[in-house]
Structures are given as C-alpha cells and as structure tokens.
Structure 1
Amino acid sequence: MGWEDRLVVWGLAIQLVIWGWGGAPVVEAQGYWETVVNNAGISTMHSAVAHDGNVVLLDRTNVGPSQLKLAPDNCRDNLADRSLKHDCTAHSALFSPNSNKVRPLKVITDTWCSSGQFDGSGKLVQTGGDADGVKKIRHFTPCGKGACDWVELNGGLQEGRWYASNQILPDGTQIVVGGRGVATLEYVPANGRGTYYLPLLSKSNDAQMDNLYPFVHLLPNNQLYIFANRDSCLYDWKTNKVARDYPTMPGEPRNYPSAGSSVMLPLSASNDFGNAEVLICGGAQYGAYLNPAGQPASQSCGRITPLAAGAGWVMENMPQRRLMGDMILLPTRDVLIINGAGGGAQGWGNAVNPVKTPVLYKPNNAAGARFQTLTASPVPRVYHSTANLLPDGRILVAGSNTHQFYTLTGYLPTELRIEAFSPPYLASNRPTFTAAPGGLKHGAGFTATVKVDNAKHIELNMASAPLVTHSFAQGQRLLQLQVGAPIAAGGGKFRVDSKAPPTSAVAPAGYYMLFPLVDGIVGSASWVRIG
C-alpha cells in the first residue's frame, strides 16, 4: 500500500491564528481527514447510520457490475435490469466504522435517486427509485453482526416516486413528497390514505424541474415546512391542506438539479423547542442544468423562521460558491457544509470546480462572523456523494459518481474511497458516558453520568440518524436537552439531570445519538430510543 492510500491530512497541525481582543492569539484547529476504506466496491449515492453503529451504503442498479462481489450462491437475477440481468456484484453494502469492514448487501430493484428514513423501530424504510424500482418499498432491519439484508415488499407506493423526499411524522408514518413529474404526496404506510395534490410542486416547477428532492422539515408545532425551487409553504399533514405560503427566496434555484442544501437549525429546551429556523445554502444558476457550461454556483444562504408572524428571508454569503454541498448538524449545534462543486449543476458530467474545503456555520454567532473554513479533503466529492454524522463524532464521507456508469479514470472519476473527517471539537480529554439511558419517554426526566477531567458546562444533545442523498439529509434534526448543573460524583464523574423532549412533534419516535458536550469538547454518543 502506497503513501497516497494511507494519506491522512492532519489539519490539527495546520492551525489558523486569529488575533483576539488585546492582541492575544486564539488558535483554532481545523480538523483532519483520513481514508478509512480505499475501495468500498460501490459508489455511495444514499447512506444512513443504523442504531447498531453500522452504516448502510446504497448506490443504484442498472449500472452494470460493481467492484463488490456477492456470495456465489446469492447472485442477483432481475430480467428488468437494463444492464446486467444476472449480476453477482452488490449495489448496496454495510460499513462498520469500528473495523472499517464492508459487507455486501443484495438489493434487487433500481434505487437510483430514491428516498427514505428510519422508522420508530429503527428499521430503514426506503422508497421509490427508477425503472422497476419507481413504486417499490424496501426495508432494512439492522442486526448488529448478523446477516441482515434488504427485503423488498410486495405492496408499493401509490404513485411512482423518483427524486422524492421522506419525513417521519409524529404518528410514526412517513410522508413521501414529490418526485419527477409528480405533484402529489402520500404516506407510508398509507393506513387508508390516498395521494394528495400539493400546489407548491406545480408552482415551483420549471423547465429544469428544479422542484425535485424538496426540503421537508417537521416543525415543533406538528406541521411541515416544505421548500421547492425558491418557494415554500406550511403544510398541515393531518388535514392535508396548505396552512400558509411564504415569500420567494432570493437568488438561484435551490433544489435538484440546482442542488442547494437545507437543515432545520437545532431546537433547544431553553425556549421550549419552539424557535424553529430553517437554513438553506447554495444552489445553481438557472439554466446550468439545461445548458451545461460550468456557470458559477450560488454563494448565498437564507434563514427563515416559519412559525413567526411576517416570516421572511434573511440572506448572507458563504466563503465559497457551492452546489451539491451536504449540510450536517453537529453535536456542538453548529452546521457543517461539506462536499460539492463551485459551478455547474447536478447530472452526469455537469460539475466543475470541486469544493474540497468544508465550512463550519455557527448559527448563534452574529451575522458576518458565522463561517469558519476547515481543512480541505484530498478527494473531490460532487454528484452522488454523501456525508453522515457518526456516533463517535466524525463525519463519514462517501460516494461521488458524476457519470452514468462506473468510470474509474478521467476527470472526476467514480469515487470508491470512504473518508472520515474529524471536526475540531474532537480534541483530547473527550468526555465519556459511564451511565446513559437506553430508552426515553417524551417529557420524562432521566439522569446520565459523564466522566471527564473537569467540567464547567455540560450539554446533552440528541441527533437523529437521517438518510442522506442528493445534498439533503432526510429527517435530520438535533435537539439541545434541558440539563441541570453537573454534580460531582467522584472519580472524575459528573451526574447530569436532564429531561427528554416533550412531544413526538419535537422528537418523533425512534433512535437518536445522545452526545455529551463538555466545555466545547464532544464525546462519543450513546444510542437512545424515544417513544
């Protein structure tokens, strides 16, 4: 193995000195990168972290053979496959961050540009795709070190959904919104419900179809904020009616294929989890998809508070132009913007000027002081790349295939390496849980014990495990819990009394990563199940 394969970019040694008040230097580490798998065998288009600690990686079928073999007696036979009807290679895999091992999984129908999310039991519900997968529903139930695999259901979606978005709801079902040529939404499981027309999806459509993979966020008032292209609405999923429309966001189109990204900023017990803000960053010039010529990407971000009277957009600029970036909520309650390109649009061969430098966005800082540039990756990640928060606090980065098929040479080749980025908060003296709850009930108190050399301030923050695809982490949310003052318990341990989120609108039932945060340093998470 050559030095390039073992490349570790030690950004902790590359530090930015910022002169503070009185001329005193303040040194901020910028994080570091490591390649954890040199060849995963597949290029990851969708990814999700399961509560057993493993990461589900998923590409598409109809792409010919991958470089990850299935067992000889477990080949994939599908007469509807456009490329390889008898296929003994995998198009999905399970990655273990503890061992850096990859296990092949068998998926039958085409998952190209599909959607999904974990349900309340921790099962990954995966919906739609292309060709024979357009109406499919698939399940993956995590099983630790077992031999679990994909199960494709006999029943399916009511409408074909290619480029749709999913969001788990307080009642435990998932809403599936949009898709190519589809202006409706539906529910999984349907439980007797049909499909419902969403006017926003017609209003936001254009010649490029910039309303694909709409941004869907569950607000703490039990309604949905749905954004497509540059427009958005408040949707009451109980009555299936639009409750409110919002002003058009300034700037460029923001959804696929123009490919901005969006998060709902962390909710906090300090204001009863009520101050929901949505952040949208990046996008592409209109026409960049129809006439690929490398037009510069958007540089702007916008914030809106959907439940506020007179809600409108507050705009600011990122340090770089970026489309196809992934926005990840961090345990520190900051946002990481990672991956992407400086120009073009999503689609085969449309990306130019890869942006290898992640950016930290600090939403609680004053405007003009929210962005911090971090250490650049050696690997460009553009179309069909992903980024996921791991329980140990690292960011797992995979994928990037800007071609119709696997193309391992030339400009922006299909990327089979998996990297991990360690943000600056992973310093020495990391706190650890010596006691943490395995289960939570909404609104109920609990106690956790954290071990650390010294503790002035301890936070307990809950992060969901979303499905990430096409620059949007479906179902992503982060919750800062109510905590009391840490109580010294001897032996470097501190007891923290806390309280679970109050309702399933704030925290839908399911598994979350519970992170200890002590004086800005993040410890490894403990998985908790609420509901």
Structure 2
Amino acid sequence: MGVSRRNYILMMGSSKRRSCCSSSRSSSWLVMLVLQLLVLMFQLVAFMGLHQGVEAQGSWEIVQNNAGIASMHTAVTNYGTVVLLDRTDIGPSQLPLPDGVCRNDANDESSTVDCTAHSAIFDPVSGTIRPLFIQTDTWCSSGQFDADGTLVQTGGDNDGFSKIRTFSPCAADGDCNWVETTTPLQNGRWYATNQRLPDGTQVVVGGRSTSTLEYVPANGAPVFLDLISNANDAQNDNLYPYVHLLPNNQLFIFANRDSILFDWTTNSVVGNLPTIPGEPRNYPSAGSSAMLPLSGFNGWTDPEILVCGGSTYGAFLNVAAELPASISCGRIAPLSATPAWAMEDMPLRRNMGDMVLLPDRTVLILNGAANGAQGWGNAQNPVLTPVLYTSTAAVGTRFQSLTATQIPRVYHSTANLLPDGRVLVAGSNTHQFYTLTGDLPTELRIEAFSPPYLSGNQPSINNPPSTFPYGSTYDFSISGGNPDLIEINMLSAPYTTHSFSQGQRLLQLQTTVPVEDFFGAYTVTATAPPSAVIAPSAYYMLFAVSQGIPSQASWVQVGNN
C-alpha cells in the first residue's frame, strides 16, 4: 500500500546518482511521489469510510449482567428508571427481597412462601437494581401510564386475573413500590391490551376467553367485540390485540388478521377494514405493530399502521416449532377513503419481534425467532439481527440490517426506548420456570442497543420545558447540530410485553425556521399538540433531532394539568 521504505531509499539514491540529468527527469520523479502520496490518502479515506460504515450499524453493550429476574413486562418511567416485571407463579427468582420480607400466597401454584422479587426498578445509567414487592400474579398482564406518571397494571393469571395494581415511580434510590388496589376489573383479563384515552381513562381490550373491552376506572358495563371472540379461532390468535388511538378519536383494533375502527365514545364499531394477507399476526403467532409517526406539519392527519411478522398457522396449536415465521409487513391508512394493505418483505423471517419507534422517526425491529410461535419451547432459530424500517423511504429501500446481538431474545423478551436514545433489551424465558442452562436459558442479562444515529454529533436542548399545554408554543434554544435540519419530536413511554408496546406514540411537532443567536445556539419555536386526542395527557420524552441525530431527551408533561 503506497511507497515502501526500501523503494523510497532506492529512488532517492538513484536521483542523487543522476543529479546531472535533466530537470524533466527530476520532475517525473516528483510527480510519481505525489501520485503515490495521493494513493495513500485515497486508501486511508476508503479505510476510514469502511470503518465508519461498520460503526454506523449500531452497537450493543451489557448494562446489567444479572438483573435477577427475566422481565416479561418493561416500562420506562419519567424518572428515567425502568420497571421490570415478571410473573409470580414461577418459583424463586434470582433477586432476593430485603431481609424479612416474603410473599405469602396460599394460592401460588409454585411457592406459597417466596422471599424473592418478581419485579424491580432498574437504573440504566448506574446499572443498579432495587427489588420491588408485588403480591398477585402478573403473568401475561397489561398496562399503561396515567397522566401523572402512575403505571396502571391490569389482570394476569390465578389470583391476579381481575386485579388492578398501581406504581407511582420514583428515582432508583427511592422507596416507591407496587400498590394492589381493592377495585377489581369487571372481567378478568389475561393477555389483554391497554390504551390511554383522551378523557384520562384507559381502555382494556380482550384477553384469553374474554371477548370484551372495559374502561379503567370503570365507565359502564364491558362491551362485547366479535373481533376478539375465540369462536372462530381454535388457536386463539387474537390475544394481545393491537390497539392504537387514531387522530380522529377512534380506536384501530387489530386481532389475528382483521381490524376494525371503534368509537369508544359510543362503544360501537364504525368500520371494518380489509384482512391483511399472510399469516396470523397476534399472540401466540406473535407479530408486532406500531402506528407510524404523526406530524403537526400535515395537521396530524393520515395515520398509518404497520404490522410485521407472525407465524404459520398451526405453529402454536400443534407445537410445531419448525414451521417458518412470517417474512411480510403490511401497512394501511385506516382513515383513507379506500383503505388497503400495502405489503412488503422484511430482510428476515421473524416472530416475537419488538417494534420500537425511534426519535428520528424510524422503526427498530428486533428480538424474536425465525421458526415456531410464542409459548414454552415453541420457537427455534433466534433472530439476532435487528432491522431498521424507514417509512419515508421508497418501497424496496425501507429496511436496513444492523449489528447483531450475541444474546437470543425470544418468548417473554422486551425492548424499550431510553431517554438517551438507546434501546433497552431485557428478558427471554421460554421455560415454565427459571432454567439457566440449555440452548435458550432464562435470560437475566440486560442489554442496551445504540442505534446508528448515536455515532454522530448530538444536539442539545438548553432550556427544556417541564410542562407543555395543548396548543401552546415554546421557544427551544438548541446547541449543536445543523439548524437547517432540526425537528422537535415527542415519544410516549409504552408498556411493552409480548411483542407489542401498548400506548407507543411518536409526534413530530410543527416548528418554525431556526433563528441563530449571538452565542452560536439557535431558537426553534414548536407548537404543542392541539388536544388529548393527538397526545393523551402523560409524560413524554422530548427530543431535538438534527439530521437524524437525537439529543438527550427531556421529560415533559403534556396536557392542561
């Protein structure tokens, strides 16, 4: 690569012996040397570019080698801490409760006296874990944050079937803990989905052998939905239905391969949407879904829903772990005059994948397996490679494969966006009890994935607001990044379980042209969402994004509280 030391000496020696020769020969030698140096520079630039290309695929790090529990349900609080939650009827975990604290439960199917934790609060910055006490079984339950940041958690199995629990977050070194309320659900729910509504309540949809939806706090009797009935589905591929609040105040509800528009103010189905082609998409076939980002620049209209992955029918019913997972994604605009599914293929087959909306308005899809379905021992061939989906790119160019992890994450794994732009990945337990050996052991390690955008120069918000009333404007002072390519984006903190992030939402705020100040920073005026229909009142992570590179998020409470 370039001129060797020996050749350089020979060239110099040759030039000295021929110093009497013509100046044209000397010029030729100089030209050759310059060309060699140019080659060296070109090769160096090419090498640096290749190296940057490798870094640009993202990176993984283990942030906790032993969390003590395999998190089946995960949620990020407005303190930046992370709630980890597993089932209780699983026998002892690897995380002890404080001395003298034990769970006594005569109904427990495994340990009537259990002195280990099945929930914890985790600090992703320091890596510290504090055990939390929870009494009733949260196996395959559901949840969502309220406007004040309280996590409301509903249902489960056994003695948790009709239970409502709350968790008011605190810092990692605080003393917050779970509270078991005395008001039960009207219908017991196992494998249900929660969605926060504009009026401050939560709708809880479906569950195994539960073909209704209800509201928490209760608001009338439960409402029957044929969409989530088990009558026509022996495999019950309608569990953990995908529920999204649309900007026209209707709910998009998807189960198995069908979906409806539901008016929660009148408790009525107002539209039936086309059947998505391909395989079953909900638990236990286990695809995933996200509503693509909404934008203030188009008046918060034209929502689109993305559904990816799933399993061949029968993979769960017949415990046929060799059957292939789905490779397809469907995308639909449910409020268009003629809604239809636009189909495209992922780079890899995947079930049990988790979709995470990223602050640059892309969708990260990670975790899962290429064969089988959800359930104990029902999956094979873990998919280690995440993919990035860019909804604004042309068809055929929307997917990008990223750096693979070394840790399989299959049944009962989760993925959640952190305020620093990383994605926290936890859990994976394909066994009835904790099994720490074998090909797919119970996974107690917690990882963080740094998406490609974290390799760039991050902007920063100098004056983050703490509250953001509906329809108000705010002047953000931003340092770093490119002022000509700046966005202000808000993301909710969902409750993630079983390949679906309940309540996940990304809002691109309408902004003005940046104005530079005397100190090198610049001001961008952003307008808050107009109402709770667009942004149900809650804490959101607020990012400044420059050329696709996000700042550290600030927590902002959106609404008129």
Q: TM-score, normalised on structure 1?
A: 0.94
| Equivalent-residue separation in structure 2 for 1:199 and 1:382 (angstroms) | 30
SS of alignment partner, residue 425 of structure 1: helix
| Equivalent-residue separation in structure 2 for 1:242 and 1:303 (angstroms) | 21
2:61 alignment partner in structure 1: 34
> Does 2:143 match 1:116?
yes
> Does 2:339 match 1:311?
yes
Change (3 A) 1:27 1:113: closer
State the superposition RMSD in angstroms: 1.6
> Does 2:306 match 1:279?
yes
| Equivalent-residue separation in structure 2 for 1:512 and 1:60 (angstroms) | 28
Percent of matched pairs sharing the same residue: 63
SS of alignment partner, residue 443 of structure 2: coil
2:22 alignment partner in structure 1: none
Note the 1:355-394 alignment, pairs <5 A: 355-394=383-422
> Does 2:126 match 1:99?
yes
* Among 377, 391, 395, the residue aligned to 1:349: 377
| Equivalent-residue separation in structure 1 for 2:452 and 2:90 (angstroms) | 38
Note the 1:481-500 alignment, pairs <5 A: 481-500=509-528
1:21 alignment partner in structure 2: none
SS of alignment partner, residue 452 of structure 2: coil
Moved more, 491-500 or 104-113: 491-500
2:542 alignment partner in structure 1: 514
1:7 alignment partner in structure 2: none
| Equivalent-residue separation in structure 2 for 1:179 and 1:203 (angstroms) | 10
Report deviation, 1:15: 9.8
2:89 alignment partner in structure 1: 62
Report deviation, 1:254: 0.1
SS of alignment partner, residue 132 of structure 1: helix
Residue type at the aligned position of 2:69: I
| Equivalent-residue separation in structure 2 for 1:63 and 1:506 (angstroms) | 40
| Equivalent-residue separation in structure 2 for 1:187 and 1:453 (angstroms) | 44
* Among 170, 191, 196, the residue aligned to 1:163: 191
2:423 alignment partner in structure 1: 395
1:446 alignment partner in structure 2: 474
| Equivalent-residue separation in structure 2 for 1:316 and 1:79 (angstroms) | 51
| Equivalent-residue separation in structure 2 for 1:27 and 1:204 (angstroms) | 50
Moved more, 483-492 or 162-171: 483-492
Residue type at the aligned position of 1:278: I
2:44 alignment partner in structure 1: none
2:244 alignment partner in structure 1: 217
Give the structure with the larger helix fraction.
Answer: 2
Q: Is the 8 A contact 1:455 1:519 kept in 2?
A: no
Residue type at the aligned position of 2:224: Y
| Equivalent-residue separation in structure 1 for 2:274 and 2:48 (angstroms) | 41
Residue deviations 1:31-56, cap 9 Å, x none?
Answer: 00000100000000000000011000
Residue deviations 1:438-459, cap 9 Å, x none?
Answer: 1011111111111116532110
Note the 1:114-513 alignment, pairs <5 A: 114-144=141-171, 145-191=173-219, 193-202=220-229, 205-293=232-320, 294-452=322-480, 454-513=482-541
| Equivalent-residue separation in structure 2 for 1:415 and 1:425 (angstroms) | 27
Change (3 A) 1:372 1:277: same
2:34 alignment partner in structure 1: none
Moved more, 377-386 or 514-523: 514-523
Report deviation, 1:204: 7.8
| Equivalent-residue separation in structure 2 for 1:203 and 1:76 (angstroms) | 35
Q: Is the 8 A contact 1:436 1:447 kept in 2?
A: no
Report deviation, 1:133: 0.3
Residue deviations 1:341-385, cap 9 Å, x none?
Answer: 001000000010000000000000011010000000010000000
Q: TM-score, normalised on structure 2?
A: 0.89
Residue deviations 1:303-337, cap 9 Å, x none?
Answer: 01010011011000000000000001000000000
| Equivalent-residue separation in structure 1 for 2:61 and 2:298 (angstroms) | 38
| Equivalent-residue separation in structure 2 for 1:27 and 1:388 (angstroms) | 24
Change (3 A) 1:379 1:413: same
Change (3 A) 1:16 1:232: farther
Report deviation, 1:205: 4.5
Report deviation, 1:429: 2.2
Residue type at the aligned position of 1:473: S
Residue type at the aligned position of 1:217: H
Report deviation, 1:474: 0.1
Moved more, 234-243 or 480-489: 480-489
Q: Is the 8 A contact 1:167 1:218 kept in 2?
A: yes
Q: Is the 8 A contact 2:472 2:528 kept in 1?
A: yes
Residue type at the aligned position of 1:308: S
Computing the radius of gyration from Cα coordinates, the structure with the larger value is: 2
| Equivalent-residue separation in structure 2 for 1:16 and 1:404 (angstroms) | 47
| Equivalent-residue separation in structure 1 for 2:245 and 2:461 (angstroms) | 30
SS of alignment partner, residue 233 of structure 1: strand
SS of alignment partner, residue 455 of structure 2: coil
2:98 alignment partner in structure 1: 71
| Equivalent-residue separation in structure 2 for 1:273 and 1:499 (angstroms) | 12
| Equivalent-residue separation in structure 1 for 2:411 and 2:522 (angstroms) | 45
Residue type at the aligned position of 2:226: P
Moved more, 420-429 or 215-224: 420-429
Report deviation, 1:71: 0.6
Give the structure with the larger strand fraction.
Answer: 1
| Equivalent-residue separation in structure 2 for 1:84 and 1:362 (angstroms) | 47
Q: Is the 8 A contact 2:211 2:230 kept in 1?
A: no
Report deviation, 1:521: 1.2
Change (3 A) 1:165 1:482: same
SS of alignment partner, residue 74 of structure 1: coil
Residue type at the aligned position of 1:464: S
| Equivalent-residue separation in structure 2 for 1:179 and 1:395 (angstroms) | 28
Residue type at the aligned position of 1:175: V
Change (3 A) 1:359 1:203: same
Q: Is the 8 A contact 1:166 1:176 kept in 2?
A: yes
Residue type at the aligned position of 2:382: P
| Equivalent-residue separation in structure 1 for 2:109 and 2:350 (angstroms) | 33
Moved more, 46-55 or 79-88: 79-88
Q: Is the 8 A contact 1:341 1:352 kept in 2?
A: yes
Change (3 A) 1:304 1:203: farther
Q: Is the 8 A contact 1:342 1:352 kept in 2?
A: yes
SS of alignment partner, residue 235 of structure 1: strand
SS of alignment partner, residue 229 of structure 2: helix
